[in-house]
Amino acid sequence: MKVGFIGLGIMGKPMAAHILKAGNSLTVYNRSRPSVEELAKLGAAVGRDPAHVAEACDIIITMLPDSPDVKEVVLGERGLIHGLSPGTTLIDMSSIHPLAAQQIAQKLKAKGVHMLDAPVSGGEIGAIEATLAIMVGGEEEVFERCLPLLKTMGKSVHRVGEIGAGNTVKLMNQMIVAINLAAVAEAFAFGKKAGIDPASAYEAIKGGLAGSRVMDTKINNIRDEQYTPGFRVKLHAKDLRNVVTMAEETGAKLEFSDRVLELFHDLSKQGFSEEDHSSLHRLFPVGKAAK
């Protein structure tokens, strides 16, 4: 299978590496060169631009920060649309607004090109370990054809509806993660203030109803107050802005997601937008523990 991959960031690079290791022919493109060179050493071909990648491949995967980035790579000058042939498939694994996914799919359909929107959850660890949860929107026949490829990157791969549904479910995921993360950050700050050791508290809590993948993944960041990015504050804020926008469009009621978005905005104003989203813990200052 001839696969193209565009967007070799924190998550995209290991995802692309798994595709290559599974025995697929891979052509990559990224604006910054180090990741491209690293994958080239593993056997990947290097595309000159998105259109060139599209010309060389049957399936192209994009993993980009936001809706405008995907639109530019797919529809812009020397974008994928200029190289894609009828019958080829774009799998956009970025987390974008569902409406943007639908708009892009309509443009591609006019050229006879298929599209899946397939955002992921699991962060850098999930990308490295190929254990991502992948939420897919699009035609069932296209999904089934692409499923073996998706399984090289993810442990849980589910079609959830037509195009745009993947990103809608991803927004649901991001709401749950954000609210859970805020609860973990607040609770462990509360415990620290009372003199409780975070590691001991985690061991006591993790097996009960409060246990969660969020807590398992982020406890070391919170315990050590080190926030090297696995998923950046600015990206989670982007997702929650899409939640708010979609809620306004559909009339859905929000009580908590918009409040956590405010917390992410507070972190960004303080200069922490590039940190891991677990840096929400910064907003619950501990100071000297009580005696």
**What is the tens place of the pLDDT at every residue in 163-174?**
999 999 999 999
Summary mean pLDDT of the chain: 96
Residues of the chain within CATH 3.40.50.720 domain(s) are 2-162
Query: Which stretches of 22-122 are DSSP H helices?
Result: 33-41, 50-56, 67-75, 98-109
Residue 41 appears among annotated catalytic residues: no
CATH code of domain 168-283: 1.10.1040.10
How many whole angstroms separate alpha carbon 102 and alpha carbon 99? 5
pTM over the 0.85 mark = yes
Res. 147 pLDDT band, cuts 50 70 90: very high
Q: Are 189 and 284 in contact (CB under 8 A)?
A: yes
Q: Which of the residues 13, 170, 218, 234 is marked catalytic?
A: 170
pLDDT of residue 287: 61
CATH T-level assignment (fold) for domain 2-162: Rossmann fold (3.40.50)
For 80, phi then psi, to 5°, come to -55, -40
Sequence ranges of the chain with CATH classification 1.10.1040.10: 168-283
Cβ atoms of 234 and 265 within 8 Å: the answer is no
